[in-house]
């Protein structure tokens, strides 16, 4: 089985796939008489097509054991999908470049506490993957409305996703 | 000074002002092969007017001492505004009914860990009010785009907002 080793989640590395939602490196301004710092516009939210609107949801997800067998990815042609952890625990954001309508080799990004992700519209990604050993809640911002907004792809040869070896 | 005593934040009590973003009492479904429970569509997100789009932001807010002197409220005619704490600490959601274009008597709702709020478009509210003694981060979902999206109102006689006495 081919192995994918997780890499750190950074804005730069993740840019082809969407946004990292974090305060680190974000523009900000003071508001409310100096009582609040606003880190502004951290994700490109898209919801297109008939009757489209932006949904706010909470996903309560069970953690996956590692190494992870990755057999399926999906994408949403009509909307972005953002995941922000509501507890300070890590999770894996697994994405694939598109290669002529099919997912290429996956990349796994290890999100640290304080980081969320927004998958850009039509970006191949694995299902939400907490790894911390405990059930984890995420705030999820995605699209509701009519239309076919899910495309799935099954890898004939699944991948194995691992964390890097501790140095 | 007139006193406003905070009341518990419940979906029912908050309905005239917007949504409570919480899993409690929300419809849900299992997804991802049973690994994830989706609490679906918890807030009515609105972003109207020219060039409007939905923004995702992080607000890092300093806590306010209690009792709180409430002298000003605001509203956003072109969009809703949601606040979800990223640490499990309480905050106050302070809102006012509209009375012929002016805010009526404020109501203060005490949000518990696990609860966020979404102020409906054009709802009078106070600025974000953490009370926990520590700086608190919130994920904020609101509107970006052209147009005048802020209306402020200054109370001639400020209110004093208090927590209820411990029983």
Distances (CA, A) of A48 to A54, A147, B140: 9, 10, 21
CA-CA-CA-CA torsion for A136, A18, A152, A91, nearest 10 degrees?
-20
Distance from the Cα of A42 to chain B's closest Cα (Å) equals 6
> Is A135 in CB contact (< 8 Å) with chain B?
no
CA of A82, closest CA in chain B: separation in Å? 9
Q: What is the DSSP string of A72-133?
A: EEEE-TTB-EEEEESSS--EEEEEE-EETTEE-S-EEEEEPTT-EEEEPTT-EEPPPEE-SS
Question: Residue B167 pLDDT > 80, yes or no?
Answer: no
**Å between A167 CA and nearest CA of chain B:** 31
Contact B6, B93 (CB under 8 A): no
Q: Which residues of A touch B57 (CB under 8 A)?
A: 38-42
Cβ pair B26:A58 closer than 8 A? yes
Residue ranges per domain, chain A?
2-162
Q: Is B82 on the interface with A (CB under 8 A)?
A: yes
User: pLDDT tens digits, residue range B13-32?
Assistant: 999 999 999 999 999 999 99
Whether A139 and B140 lie within 8 Å, measured CB to CB: no
pLDDT at position B166 over 80:
no
Strand bridging mode B7-8 / B107-111: parallel
Taking a C-beta distance cutoff of 8 angstroms, is the pair A81, A138 a contact? no
Look at residue A1 in the predicted model and tell me its pLDDT.
Answer: 86
Q: Is A58 at the interface with chain B, CB within 8 A?
A: yes
pLDDT 10s per residue in chain A (167 long)?
899 999 999 999 999 999 999 999 999 999 999 999 999 999 999 999 989 999 999 999 999 999 999 999 999 999 999 999 999 999 999 999 999 999 999 999 999 999 999 999 999 999 999 998 899 999 999 999 999 999 999 999 999 999 998 76
Per-residue pLDDT band at B1 (split at 50, 70, 90): confident
Task: Using only the alpha carbons of chain B, give its radius of gyration.
Answer: 16
The CATH number given to A2-162 is 2.60.120.480
- At B157 the pLDDT is 97
Using a CB-CB cut-off of 8 Å, the residues of chain A touching B39 are 57-60
pLDDT tens-digit profile of B73-123?
Answer: 999 999 999 999 999 999 999 999 999 999 999 999 999 999 999 999 999
- Nearest by CB to residue A41, choosing from B55, B87, B137, is B55
Nearest residue in chain A measured CA to CA from B60 = A37
Model ipTM value: 0.96
**Which of A53, A58, A62 has the CB atom closest to B39's CB atom?**
A58
Structure tokens given for A18: 């969407």
pLDDT at residue A125, as a whole number: 98
Nearest residue, CB atoms, B141 vs list A26, A37, A141: A141
Non-local (6+) Cβ contacts of A144 within 8 A are A47, A52, A53, A54, A55, B41
Contact check, Cβ <8 Å, B58/A23: yes
Residue of B41, B58, B83, B115 to mutate for A, most A C-beta atoms under 10 A: B58
For B144, which residue in chain A has the nearest alpha carbon? A41
Binary contact (A56, B137; C-beta < 8 A):
no
Q: Out of B47, B64, B139, name the one closest to residue A139 (CB).
A: B139
Average pLDDT over residues B45-73: 96
Quick check: B21 contacting A, CB < 8 Å?
A: yes
Task: For chain A, say whether B59 makes contact (Cβ under 8 Å).
Answer: yes
Amino acid A133: pLDDT: 85
The answer for residues whose C-beta is within 8 angstroms of residue A63's C-beta and 6 or more apart is A130, A131, A132, A133, A134, A135, A136
C-alpha neighbours within 13 Å on the C-beta side of residue A52: 19
The Cβ-side half-sphere exposure at A130, using a 13 Å CA radius, reads 23
pLDDT of residue B131: 95
pLDDT of residue A31: 96
Per-residue pLDDT at B165: 85
Tell whether A32 is within 8 A of chain B (Cβ).
yes
B25's tokens: 């009492």
């Amino acid at each position: 089985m081919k192995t994918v080793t997780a890499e750190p989640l950074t804005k730069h590395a993740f840019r082809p796939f969407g946004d990292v939602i974090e305060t680190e490196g974000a523009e900000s301004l003071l508001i409310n008489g100096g009582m609040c710092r606003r880190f502004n516009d951290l994700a490109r939210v898209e919801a297109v097509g008939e009757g489209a609107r932006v949904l706010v949801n909470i996903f309560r997800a069970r953690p996956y054991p590692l190494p992870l067998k990755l057999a399926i990815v999906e994408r949403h042609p009509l909307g972005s999908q953002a995941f922000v952890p509501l507890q300070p625990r890590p999770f894996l954001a697994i994405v694939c470049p598109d290669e002529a309508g099919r997912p290429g080799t996956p990349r796994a990004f290890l999100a640290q506490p304080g980081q969320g992700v927004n998958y850009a519209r039509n970006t191949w990604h694995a299902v939400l993957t907490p790894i911390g050993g405990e059930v984890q809640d995420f705030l999820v911002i995605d699209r509701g409305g009519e239309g076919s907004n899910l495309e799935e792809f099954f890898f004939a040869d699944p991948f194995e996703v691992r964390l890097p070896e501790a140095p």
